[in-house]
Amino acid sequence: MDSGAIAIVIAWVLAAYALVVSIWGGLTRREDLIRSGENAVLAMWAFTAVATADLLRGLVSRDFNLEYVAQYSSSTLPLHYTVAALWGGQAGSLLFWLTILSSMAAVVVLQNRQQNRALMPIATATLMAIALFFASLLVFVTPPFKRLAFTPGDGRDLNPLLQNYWMTMHPPSLYLGYVGCSIPFAFAIAALVTGRLDDVWIRTTRRWTLFAWFFLSLGNLFGALWAYRVLGWGGYWAWDPVENAAFMPWLTCTAYLHSVMIQEKKNMLKVWNMVLVILTFLLTIFGTFLTRSGVISSVHSFTQSGLGPFFIGFLGLAAAISLALLVWRLPELKSTNEIDSMLSREAAFLVNNLIFVGIAFAVFWGTIFPVLSEAVRGVKITVGPPFFNRVNAPLGLILLFLMGVGPLLAWRRASWASLRRNFLWPTTVGAAVAIACAAAGVRHGYALLSFSLCAFVAATIVQEFWRATRARQHMLGEPGFLAFVRVTGKNRRRYGGYIVHLAVVMIFLAITGTSAFRVEQQVTVKPGEAFEVGHYRLLFERVQSWETPHSAHMAAQLAVYQGAKRVDTLKPEKRFYKKPEQPATEVAIRSHLGTDLYVVFGSYDQASQTATILAYINPLIGFLELGGVVLVLGTLIAVWPQRAPRPVEAWQAAAAGARDPHAAM
């Protein structure tokens, strides 16, 4: 038996042991049992790491006697894709998930050796219950170290759609986000079981929640970029069921990050925050079920498997236990405060939350409706992008508006004088942009509204930074840039959040540009013939062919002209991967000022020497990647540890808050 297979069995035993003794220790308040359970978590992480290392060794050494290696690798597969094959198949992805979960659980144990001792037994038990489920799948259902009766000469290779740079980043990012949601869930369950329903569990998991949200965000962005560059359809989001499965927990996690601020500041929405944490975790399990059950058809999902019933059972059990605990503690979770006015930041955050959850429900309903219709009526009714766009586009614009409104409203109650003062500049900027767009010929209603709202939100963010910076300059006499940096550093959570909002504005610009103004052209041309798309003229010059041991390539060479000037040469490809005997598309992209010329080599007729070319102009698409970069920056600022202020700094901050209420928010 492989050392990896033995390690998984030992990890399973350790997870079961940690689950039992943690609950026992928590009930009997025996610290020795609690410590023993935590030590078992650390040991479980070590054995899970051994199993993962052994599977990686098999992949890198091309041990084709291992069924998993033979199924998802080959002798000609490049090394970085060979490593990516770890999460390219069913069993490997489950082992990768378990490795991330055990690693996070080990970090939680080490972080809380001397704190949160009342919560730790149940939090540990919850994490180990989740780990035990995944370990059980690896031990009893889909073992990753199954040996073949013979050793094939080569493997079947990794799915060609996964042989792309973004697929080396998309699944790990998404898994980190999915698994990261387990940590706040575990502490929420611990708070419900122990009755310690104050803000301790929230403060303990704040950075874990941001960590999970950050990687869910990156996972969705990387997945969009993969779809854009690999699938060859000119878009990046098609409301595919597996895309939706990754989007839904992001929505509820984002809602929680906003509403938890109300609980911290006003001691409100305790039940709502518990629901959001539990719902986010359940949606991560639901998303995992969708990709592994075979009940939906998607280019993102794994092949048909028998894992669906296991995931449904685990999902149902987790939901039932969570709901029972929530109902049990409901009287103790009731808020002591209420929203004083609809013209307040609390009210804006609450509406924001309701819309986030509304979008999540709409996406959930559209995703499962084909399955339900087939089960009830025997006919699968497909729900396509038009439904999702029609429902979610207006809700998304409302969210964009609230993103600008929230910072302008005071806590508890906003006066009409403060509303006039705070809204004047952002509203003026938004209206000016709307007028300018209309004058420039923009007639698309959603686009006009989106651009004006993007300007409104951006102006709000600039205004918040400007006021706080000017207040610090006025009080301390610091240079402008230094005051800006120090203002941001003094309240990293708040101003990091504003930078993240700016990233969301950029992503909205990309979505608006590509949705409203995309140009598409399909032509069949011979060498020497040209066609126009947008303000470009493309001249088809020739077809080139070459082979590698791994794949065969055919590329169409096109000269790109703007007017009489040749500005680029694009070579979109058709590829044929030899081991799986599957074709794939490699698009060619010219990016200029945030707009892409996107070209796909559709087909080639050797007899007539004609090529079918698809060309797209995607306006503002560059803001999608730029928004991702800004999102990373904003999140890093928000989670960066804040040193405790020295006495003189605390006095200065208090003075700044007294002079400018916005600086202290």
pLDDT band at 647 (very low <50, low <70, confident <90, very high): low
pLDDT of residue 665: 35
Q: pTM of the entire structure?
A: 0.92
Residue 572 in this model has a pLDDT that exceeds 90: yes
Most confident of 25-29, 405-409, 480-484: 25-29
Q: Is the pLDDT of residue 286 over 90?
A: yes
> Tell me, what's the pLDDT at 394?
95
Cβ atoms of 393 and 446 within 8 Å: the answer is yes
In the predicted model, is pLDDT for residue 604 greater than 80? yes
When pLDDT is averaged across residues 575-585 and rounded to a whole number, the result is: 90
126 residue type, one letter = T
Lowest mean pLDDT segment, chosen from 3-17, 133-147, 377-391, 558-572: 377-391
pLDDT of residue 659: 43
The gap from C-alpha 571 to its chain's centroid, in whole angstroms, comes to 31
Q: What is the DSSP string of 20-70?
A: HHHHHHHHHT-HHHHHHHHHHHHHHHHHHHHHHHHHHHHHHTT-TTBHHHH
Across 556-575, average pLDDT = 95
At residue 194 the predicted structure's pLDDT band, cuts being 50, 70 and 90, is very high
Q: How far apart are CA 66 and CA 69, in angstroms?
A: 5
For the stretch 331-353, pLDDT in tens is: 998 877 777 677 788 888 889 99
Q: How far is CA 5 from CA 95, 290, 368, 396, 489, in A?
A: 11, 27, 36, 47, 48
CA 473 vs CA 42, 258, 488, 649, 665: distances in Å: 50, 30, 13, 15, 18
Q: Residue 445 above 70 pLDDT? A: yes
Average pLDDT over residues 117-130: 97
Instruction: State the pLDDT confidence band at 453, using cuts at 50, 70 and 90.
Output: very high
3-state secondary structure of 514: helix
Name the least confident of 163-167, 281-285, 302-306, 565-569: 302-306
3-state secondary structure of 290: helix
Confidence of residue 661 (pLDDT cuts 50, 70, 90): very low
DSSP letters for 568-580: EEE--EEEEETTT
Average pLDDT on 295-324 reads 80
Strands in 268-317 per DSSP E = none
Mean pLDDT of 173-201: 95
Contact, 589 vs 598, CB < 8 A? yes
Is residue 371 helix, strand or coil? helix
Q: If you average pLDDT over every residue of the chain, what do you get?
A: 90
Q: Give the pLDDT confidence score for residue 496 in this predicted structure.
A: 93
Q: Which single residue is written with the structure tokens 């600086």?
A: 663
pLDDT at 648 over 70: no
Please check the confidence at residue 304 and state whether its pLDDT lies above 90. Answer: no
CA 295 to chain centre: 23
Confidence of residue 307 (pLDDT cuts 50, 70, 90): confident
Taking Cα atoms as reference points, which of 243, 229, 231 lies closest to residue 621? 229
pLDDT band of residue 507 (cuts 50, 70, 90) is: very high
Q: Say how far apart CA 537 and CA 400 lie, in whole Å.
A: 37
Arithmetic mean of pLDDT, 138-151: 95
* Per-domain residue ranges of the chain: 1-163, 415-517+630-664, 524-618
By percentage, how much of the chain surpasses pLDDT 70? Answer: 94
Closest alpha carbon to 252 in 229, 226, 274? 274
